[in-house]
Amino acid sequence: MSYVDEVMERVIAKNPSEKEFHQAVKEVLDSLRIVIEKNEEKFRKNAVLERITEPERVVSFRVPWVDDNGQVQVNRGFRVQFSSAIGPYKGGLRFHPSVNQGIIKFLGFEQIFKNSLTGLPIGGGKGGSDFDPKGKSDREVMAFCQSFMTELYKYIGKDTDVPAGDIGVGGREIGFLYGQYKRITGLYEGVLTGKGLTYGGSLTRTEATGYGLVYITEEMLKANGKELAGKTVVISGSGNVAIYAAQKAMQLGAKVVSMSDSNGYVYDPEGIDLDLVKEIKEVRRGRIKEYAEAKASAQYTEGKGVWTIPCDVALPCATQNELDLEDAKTLKANGCFAVAEGANMPSTREATDFFLENDMLFMPGKAANAGGVATSALEMSQNSQRMSWTFEEVDSKLHQIMIDIFKKVDEASKKYDLEKNYVAGANIAGFEKVVDAMNAQGIV
C-alpha cells in the first residue's frame, strides 16, 4: 500500500466520526501523492504525513454561563493548535451549534496550508464552540465570551497563538473576548485579530476575506483570458465574507444577483442592493428574507437552491459542504465557468472533482479566502510596532498578497504538469514550505 493510503487509513481509524477532518485530509493527501511518490521512503521514515495530520495540541473545555432567565447554560469550547512550523498558531474561532472537534480539526488542518500560502510567518490553528449567538441578547453573548476566554487565555498569547473571527464571531464577540483577556492578564497585546479600530484593529480587516477572494478570482480569470467586469455573480451566505466579496465584485464591474442564509436565498436580477443587506445583517442582525420584503425586484426562496440561479461566476461564502455534485452540474449547465471558494471547503469532494474534470476554473478556499488571515497577520505587525496603516496601505498589501498567492498556486500546478489544477497547486505550494520548516527544526 502506498504511504499516502496507509496514512489516510490511520487518520480515519484514529479519529473516528470526524468526517469533515477525514475529507480535508484526503483532499490534501490525494494532491500530494505526486510529491510524496518522488521521495516516498524519506517521507515515510520521517513520518512527515503522520506528524502533519496530528495536531500539536487539542484543548477542549467547559464553558458555563448564565442566560437572561437566570438559567445556567453549558457549552463546549475548543482550541486546536495544529502546526507551529512556520509561526505562532493563527486561525479563527467559530461559534455555531454544529461545532465539534472534527469540524475544528478540519478547519485547523486547512489553516496550516492557507497560512503558508500567504507568505507570512503564521502557523495553523482553529477554535470555537457549539454556542449559537443567534437570537441571544448582547448580555448573553458577553457572558458566554467572558466565560470562554476565562479558560482560553491560558493557551494563547501574541507570540504563541492569536485567534480571530469566523462564523458567528464578528466585531462584537472579538470585543468581549479581548476585554476579558486584558482583564485577566493585564496585557494590552495583539492576542486577537479582527479588533475594533479604537483598540488595535486594522483598517481593511473587515473587508479582507471578501476583497481577497475577488482579487484572486480576478487574477484567475485574467490568466485565462477573462475578467469579472460585466459578469453575473452568484454569492451564497450573507455574513462577513459574502458581503465584502459582493462589494468588491461590484466595484470591479460585476453584477451580484444573490445572497443567502441558512433559511433560504434571495435572487435579485437587478443586482443586489448591498446597503440594504448591510442594514439587515450588520445592523439589525435579521434574516435575508427581509431583503425581498423591502425590494420589489427580489424574490425569496426558502431552503437550499442558490446554485440554480444562472451565473458566470459562483462564490460560495457560507459554510462547508454547501455545494454538492448536483449543484456543480447545475452551475455548469447554466453557463457558470468559474468558482472560487470564500468559505472553507464549501464544495464537496465530488463537486470539486466535477469542476476540475469539466474544465471549469476553480480556486479552493485555502487559497481563495487566505486574504482574511493575511490581513490578520498585518494587524499583528501593526500591533507589535504600535502603528496603524491607512486603509489604502493595507488594501494594497492585501491585493499584492492575493496576486502572489495566485502565482504560487499556478506555478506549483505547472511544476507538476497539472496546469489549471489550482487545488493541487494550492496544496503542494502550501505543503512544501511547511515541510521544509519541519525538516529544518528536527523531529518535533
Binding site annotation covers 90? yes
Which runs of E-coded beta strand occur in 341-437?
361-363
Residue 157 DSSP symbol? B
Q: Which is nearer to ligand NDP, 64 or 303 (CB)?
A: 303
Report, as residue numbers or ranges, the catalytic residues.
Answer: 126
CB of 367 to ligand NDP, least distance (A): 11
- Residue with smallest beta-carbon separation from ligand NDP: 239
Strands across the sheet containing 72-83: 57-66, 72-83, 123-129, 89-95, 161-164
Question: With the C-alpha atoms ordered 227, 313, 391, 208, is the resulting torsion angle positive or negative?
Answer: negative
Report how far residue 5's alpha carbon sits from residue 37's, in angstroms, rounded to the nearest whole number.
11
Q: At what angle do helices 101-117 and 370-385 cross, to 10 degrees?
A: 70
Contacts (Cβ under 8 Å, ≥6 apart) of 284: 290
Task: Kindly indicate which of the ranges 55-63, 148-156, 318-326, 424-432 contains the residues binding ligand NDP, using the contact rule CB under 6 A.
Answer: 318-326
In the complex, least distance from residue 355 CB atom to ligand NDP, rounded to whole angstroms: 18
Q: Which residues, 403 to 422, sit near ligand NDP by CB under 6 A?
A: none
Segment lying near ligand NDP (by CB under 6 A), choices 42-50, 236-244, 401-409, 419-427:
236-244
Any contact of residue 372 with ligand NDP (CB under 6 A)? yes
Q: Smallest distance from the beta carbon of 88 to ligand NDP, in angstroms?
A: 17
Q: How far is the CB of 341 from ligand NDP (least distance, A)?
A: 9
Exactly one of 344, 352, 382, 427 binds ligand NDP (CB under 6 A); that residue is 344
| Residue 240 in marked binding region | yes
Q: Count the residues of the shown chain that bind ligand NDP, applying the rule CB under 6 A.
A: 24
**Integer Cα distance of 63 and 131 in angstroms:** 9
What does the DSSP 8-state code read for residue 323?
B
Coil vs helix vs strand at 129:
strand
Is residue 111 within the footprint of ligand NDP (CB under 6 A)? no
Site string for ligand NDP, 153-172 (x = CB under 6 A): ------------xxxx-x--
Does 93 contact ligand NDP by CB under 6 A? no
Do 378 and 195 contact (CB within 8 A), yes or no?
A: no
Nearer to ligand NDP, 112 or 343 (CB): 343
Q: Which of 175, 190, 237, 425 binds ligand NDP (CB under 6 A)?
A: 237
Q: Return all residues near 332 (Cβ < 8 A) that are at least 6 apart.
A: 354, 358, 360
CB of 132 to ligand NDP, least distance (A): 9
Whole-number Å distance between alpha carbons of 361 and 155: 40
For residues 301 and 390, give the distance between their C-alpha atoms in angstroms, rounded to a whole number: 41
Report yes or no: 438 and 84 within 8 Å, Cβ to Cβ.
no
**Footprint of ligand NDP on residues 278-317 (CB under 6 A)?**
317
Alpha-carbon span 262 to 27, nearest angstrom: 26
Choose which of 53, 116, 202, 238 interacts with ligand NDP (CB under 6 A). 238
| From candidates 161, 261, 312, 395, binder to ligand NDP by CB under 6 A | 261
**Closest to 110 (Cα-Cα) out of 129, 88, 126:** 126
> Does residue 347 touch ligand NDP according to CB under 6 A?
no
Q: Which of 241, 256, 314, 328 touches ligand NDP by CB under 6 A?
A: 241
Does the annotation place 75 within a ligand binding site? no
Residue with cell 500539536: 56
With contact defined as beta carbons under 8 Å apart, do 88 and 60 qualify? no
HEC per residue, 278-294: HHHHHHCCCCCHHHHHH
Q: Does 364 bind ligand NDP (CB under 6 A)?
A: no
Choose which of 318, 331, 351, 377 interacts with ligand NDP (CB under 6 A): 318
Residue (167 or 340) nearer to ligand NDP, CB:
167
| Distance, CA of 49 to CA of 444 (rounded, Å) | 13
Please pick, from the candidates 311, 331, 340, 343, the single residue that binds ligand NDP as defined by CB under 6 A. Answer: 343
Contact 280, 286 (CB under 8 A): yes
118 binds ligand NDP (CB under 6 A): no
Contact 130, 94 (CB under 8 A): no
Q: Give the three cell numbers for residue 165.
A: 473571527
Nearer to ligand NDP, 142 or 367 (CB): 367
342 binds ligand NDP (CB under 6 A): yes
Q: Binding site for NAD(+): which residues? A: 209, 240
Q: Binding site for substrate: which residues? A: 90, 111, 114, 165, 376
Q: Binding site: which residues? A: 90, 111, 114, 165, 209, 240, 376
Residues near ligand NDP, by CB under 6 A: 165-168, 170, 209, 237-242, 261-263, 317-319, 322, 342-344, 369, 372
